[in-house]
Amino acid sequence: MAPPSSSSSLPRILFLLFLISVAVTVRSSPAHSPRRVASHNYKDALTKSLIFFEGQRSGKLPPNQRMTWRKNSGLSDGAAMKVDLVGGYYDAGDNIKFGFPMAFTTTMLSWSVLEFGGLMKGELGNAKEAIRWATDYLLKATAEPDVIYVQVGDATKDHACWERPEDMDTPRTVIKIDRNTPGTEVAAETAAALASASLVFRKSDRTYSKLLLKRAISVFEFADKYRGSYSNGLKKFVCPYYCSYSGYEDELLWGAAWLQKATRSPKYLNYIQANGQTLGAAETDNTFGWDNKHAGARVLLSKAFLVQKLQSLHDYKGHADNFICSLIPGAPFSQSEFTPGGLLFKMDDSNMQYVTSASFLLVTYAKYLTQARKVVNCGGSIVTPKRLRAIAKKQVDYLLGDNPLKMSYMVGYGPRYPLRIHHRGSSLPSISAHPAKIECGSGFSIMHSETPNPNLLIGAVVGGPDEHDHFPDVRSDYFQSEPATYINAPLVGALSYLAHSFGQL
């Protein structure tokens, strides 16, 4: 047979060279897959979620205030009782300082930092400032032994006005709990807030951290010793705004869990072991928010077993699993309902608070499970940490715009977001634009108008759509259009995790 010509062997040589180059490329490529591309800018959303808290500040605002249309307000708060109660946060779109949701907000901001602060990079300082604005106030509110000032302002009279906090002329009534009028749920939640925050500041400000923890211990003792619901003794002041419907047992378990974490004292571990069942550790309620803390306490205590190997808290993995299984679509024990667009739906009134709190617990529990190399067993259906994170991501993505309306429910994030939020300061002209006082009743003409709010409350997450994914963007609809600190607080942790996981932080 004749030898092959040079022209016929050239393609074969080129093909061999190609194979060699592919082999070299494959060998030199990194073993891991390229980082996923995020559908959202979680870092931007995180930044904005923290700026929001500056818009809710009461008191004398600092020079580095970023929400510049807000000015000083409530500078004589507490004067009626000869006590300094200047500072803290307005809970939502009104001008009242409610201690119960403010303390829960503080606890959730602290938990967000404790779990995900290491991922926050430049936002960590802002998160700690948001916490400190609350804890400085809570220290004032708990300065007297066995007394906690739990509210500033007359909610009924405040809601009869539509006025800027800077113009506030409604009574700044001061409400307190004490031995004769106990409020176990508020006291125990305040103890949780102080204890969790003490952990946040343990390395950066040891003196402040010690003060917070010392106060948390005494406040919890008061909560446990003088038991009673503040919704009974203070009903005409706190209801229907922040009545406690779940009782105070959940807060006692939650407060003890945070003190156990902050002190590592056998005292609180013994308390949890002795009282956990009577305080509702094994109840099947699957709602976590400013009123009911059971699910949060279960997840928090499961960490002590999963990560710190505290065998005595073994049962809390099961309790936490039961809560998690209730959230898993299609799981045997699922109790959750979802809108046609995929949003977790608990109730008409400010539903988004349950979306953000559940998302936080999902990514946090996924972290604990990963560290312990464990999974969740939902009636024979195995659920991995990866699945929990995927469910949380879907909820956060819906909030940020992946929904039937293609609307972000965070003000200032994305191309389309609510323009007429139920918020006095945001809806009325700012002091800079309109220095003259706006009287109590004259603001209602603006409240009922269709004009977009002149001041953007950047980062505010509103109550959200209804069970059919509808959102009318009507200012008077406080169920759907009102933002609140306790909606944003758990979202801070979830956004920190997502921003980091997509390489944005």
Whole-number CA gyration radius for the chain: 26
Position 498 scores a pLDDT of 98
Burial of 54 (0-12, 13-18, 19+ CB in 10 A): buried
Bridge partners, residue 376, by sequence: 383
- Between 329 and 102, whose confidence is greater? 102
> How many angstroms separate the CA atoms of 43 and 390, rounded?
18
Average pLDDT of 314-339?
Answer: 92
| Mean pLDDT for all residues in the chain | 93
| Separation in Å, CA 438 to CA 46, 67, 163 | 33, 20, 6
Q: Report whether pLDDT(325) > 70.
A: yes
Please say if 294 is a catalytic residue. Answer: no
Reported as a pLDDT band with limits 50, 70 and 90, residue 35 is low
State pLDDT tens for residues 411-447: 999 999 999 999 999 999 999 999 999 999 999 999 9
- Between 175 and 80, whose confidence is greater? 175
Q: Are 409 and 464 in contact (CB under 8 A)?
A: yes
Q: Report whether pLDDT(33) > 80.
A: no
40, 422, 423, 500: the catalytic one is: 422
Residues in Cβ contact with 21 at an 8 Å cutoff, skipping those fewer than 6 apart: none
Please say if 467 is a catalytic residue. Answer: no
Q: Report whether pLDDT(3) > 80.
A: no
Q: Are 461 and 409 in contact (CB under 8 A)?
A: yes
331: DSSP letter:
-
Q: Are 193 and 107 in contact (CB under 8 A)?
A: yes
Report the chain's terminal Cα–Cα distance, integer Å: 67
Encoded amino acid at 476, one letter:
S
Position 7 scores a pLDDT of 41
Helix (H, G, I), strand (E, B) or coil at 337: strand
Beta strands in 37-101 (DSSP E): 97-98
What does residue 378 show for φ and ψ, rounded to 5 degrees?
-105, 85
Reported as a pLDDT band with limits 50, 70 and 90, residue 334 is confident
What does residue 322 show for φ and ψ, rounded to 5 degrees?
-60, -40
Reported as a pLDDT band with limits 50, 70 and 90, residue 12 is low
Position 11 scores a pLDDT of 47
Please say if 422 is a catalytic residue. Answer: yes
Q: Are 223 and 188 in contact (CB under 8 A)?
A: yes
**Count of Cβ atoms closer than 10 Å to residue 336 Cβ:** 18
Maximum separation of any 2 CA atoms in the chain, in Å: 113
44, 54, 249, 482: the catalytic one is: 482
> How many angstroms separate the CA atoms of 62 and 284, rounded?
44
Burial of 232 (0-12, 13-18, 19+ CB in 10 A): middle
Peptide bond connecting 240 to the previous residue in cis, omega within 30 degrees of 0: yes
Percent of the chain scored above 70 by pLDDT?
Answer: 93
**Count of Cβ atoms closer than 10 Å to residue 321 Cβ:** 22
> How many angstroms separate the CA atoms of 208 and 364, rounded?
26
313: DSSP letter:
G
Average pLDDT of 136-160?
Answer: 97
What's CA 122's distance to the chain center, in Å? Answer: 19
Q: Report whether pLDDT(25) > 90.
A: no
123, 189, 473, 500: the catalytic one is: 473
DSSP 407-442: --SBTTSSS---SS-S-HHHHSPPTTT--S---TTT
Closest-CA residue to 186 (of 128, 257, 135, 138): 138
| Separation in Å, CA 401 to CA 62, 165, 440, 445, 490 | 33, 31, 36, 31, 18
State pLDDT tens for residues 194-231: 999 999 999 999 999 999 999 999 999 999 999 999 99
Task: Provide the token pair at 208.
Answer: 């402040």
